[in-house]
Amino acid sequence: MSKKEKRIKAGKKSVVISLLITAIVFAIWYYLFFPAMSLISAKFWVVPIGVSLVYVTLYLLFRSTIDKVVMVDNKAWKSISFRISMAVVAVSFVVLIIGGLISSPMFRSGTYSEVMKVNESDFVSEIPESENVADIALMDTESAKIIGKRAMGELTDLVSQFEVSEKYSQIDYNGKPMKVAPLEYAGFFKWMNNNSEGIPGYILVDPIDNTAKYVETTKPIKYSPSSFFGKNLYRHLQMQYPTKLFGDSYFEIDNDGLPYWICPVLCHEAGPFGAENVKGCVIMNASNGECEYYEIGDIPNWVDIVYNGDLIQKQYNWYGNLSGGFINSVIGNKGCKVTTDDYGYKVMDGDVWIYTGVTSVNGDESNIGFILVNSRTGECKYFNMSGAEEHSAMAAAEGEVQNLGYKASFPSLINISGEPTYIMVLKDNGGLVKQYAMVNVRKYNVVATATIQKEALKTYKKLLGANGLISKGEIESELKSELITVSKIRFIQVDDETVVYITSEKGDVYKQNFSDNEELVTISENDKITVYYDEKTDITMINSFKKES
């Protein structure tokens, strides 16, 4: 056999062996990491680079070894397969570089700024007035984790095999705000022991009454991020839809309490890689792995989380920074605004809305507005009103209880008598809720704290009246009232506070702290007065009174 024939035979053998090994390496890698085979994913273009380099390395190694055996000159670098591989690497690099440039805000600022459609809204008309703050969900995820783990700890038959996921989802469950997290396998060997039966249930946390309960599903959860091999949530999802680009996934339950995974599908609005947005979602049955894709406008109403808070902040910042062009966002900053560095949740009309403040790019301690974004549809409402930035309000609330060392959670925004108001919880060092705080957005020195929400609201409304933010008549119109004739009035000292007790001709007793209303000194026996109060008890605490002629 001639040298040329030997060289051709050696080259073919090297190509076949290198291709076979490369294919095996790629198959193993793909199964382990299951990337999206999508042209709009920058990570996808790393795949041909990696595959080509693996092939070239193997080809050169085998060709060199075989050439030495047959004693011929090594001209592997001139082979067609080597040149094709290098061309693939070069093309992939060019796509990444050019694609990155044409997708950047520098060239596509207008597209970035239009990803989120922002609608100007009126706070008073759009945000329903909170007449009873006792039904507002204020618990943050950290507190939910503590309560959820406590509930899990009581399940002695499960706690050794499963643990509660650290990832809680804020949902609206049949008209009530809830936080939910699935159980997950406590490691590979626990999965080996239990995967045939699956995960038996999830933890449901009530953020209003600070309780948690374990809910056993009618069918066990078989597909989960903590599962392995084919039952791993992300692997199963990507194998079902290999060309779709997915964001994170969220655990939710439908109106019947059945478990599902909500998996947003992403797209790019600017070039191949820029201006990330959501185009739809795949809803996966957590028990049997069945999947169904929905376009963004067709997603069922029970689904709550498609847009997450991080993406919403990113999209609004594009709108706030780039509406005046890229150069202005870098140099002039005229009209540029960004969201604050955190966000919270608000449940309204059966939907979960993500709330965050908007401030100028200068990063001062005040907000120029607020946004509410529907986390299912992406609808954005902007409220143009200035006031305290959230962290300033949190500091004001903490200042009221500085002797106790409580820390404030990120607040929610509510409407109290037409006044935009922050409401938040105050937690101890163990993360447990100890008090509630309400802070006026326009005047953040107006702060009310109490151990129960109802008392915090009552004190807050008094402060609104005292600071001229609402009229006395507005306060009284929301209270119950009763016309009485005073038969007896007593001023009694109780714990360094003078309390005024008023007895009516019917024997009913009312009281109010003298420091809250010094006009009490004008009341005499036999006077007819109208007393205003929240609810009647054995000794009714009044908010105010009015003397009748």
What is the total count of domains within the chain? 4
Are 253 and 203 in the same domain?
yes
Listed as own residue / partner, the contacts of 328-336 with beta carbons closer than 8 Å and 24 or more positions apart are 329/105, 329/109, 333/361, 333/362, 336/360, 336/361
Residue 468 confidence (pLDDT): 81
CATH of the domain at 495: 2.40.50
| Average pLDDT of adjacent 10-residue blocks, the chain of 549 residues | 60 79 88 86 88 85 63 59 87 92 93 94 85 69 84 82 91 90 92 90 87 92 93 93 93 94 96 94 96 95 94 95 90 88 86 91 80 94 90 92 90 88 89 88 91 84 82 69 91 87 92 87 91 86 84
Q: Could you give the dihedral angle defined by the CA atoms of residues 311, 241, 261 and 168, in that order, rounded to the nearest 10 degrees? A: -40
Evaluate whether residue 363 is within a structural domain.
no
Are 189 and 273 in the same domain?
yes
**Best CA proximity match to 448, nearest among 462, 440, 437:** 437
Cα(377)–Cα(116) distance, rounded to whole angstroms?
A: 11
Evaluate whether residue 66 is within a structural domain.
yes
Are 461 and 483 in the same domain?
no
CATH of the domain at 414: 3.10.450
Cα(463)–Cα(446) distance, rounded to whole angstroms?
A: 7
Residue 474 confidence (pLDDT): 67
Contact 433, 425 (CB under 8 A): yes
Are 169 and 218 in the same domain?
yes
Evaluate whether residue 162 is within a structural domain.
yes
| pTM for the model | 0.84
321 CB-near residues (< 8 Å, 6+ apart): 113, 329, 336, 337, 338, 361
Are 43 and 147 in the same domain?
no
Q: What residues pair up with 450 in beta bridges, in sequence order? A: 436
Are 274 and 423 in the same domain?
no
Evaluate whether residue 65 is within a structural domain.
yes
Among 434, 451, 470, the domain-final residue is: 470
Q: What is the DSSP string of 4-49?
A: HHHHHHHHHHHHHHHHHHHHHHHHHHHHHH-----TT-GGGGHHHH
Evaluate whether residue 332 is within a structural domain.
no
Among 430, 445, 470, the domain-final residue is: 470
Are 224 and 96 in the same domain?
no
Residue 476 confidence (pLDDT): 64
151 CB-near residues (< 8 Å, 6+ apart): 203, 212, 213, 214
Cα(119)–Cα(370) distance, rounded to whole angstroms?
A: 12
Are 291 and 160 in the same domain?
yes
Are 197 and 267 in the same domain?
yes
Cα(198)–Cα(184) distance, rounded to whole angstroms?
A: 9
Residue 11 confidence (pLDDT): 65
Among 250, 274, 306, the domain-final residue is: 306
Range of the structural domain that residue 513 is part of? 479-547
Cα(376)–Cα(533) distance, rounded to whole angstroms?
A: 41
Evaluate whether residue 318 is within a structural domain.
no
Evaluate whether residue 313 is within a structural domain.
no
Contact 261, 233 (CB under 8 A): yes
Are 261 and 185 in the same domain?
yes
83 CB-near residues (< 8 Å, 6+ apart): none
Are 75 and 144 in the same domain?
no
Evaluate whether residue 15 is within a structural domain.
yes
Are 98 and 173 in the same domain?
no
Tokens 């038969």, residue located:
487
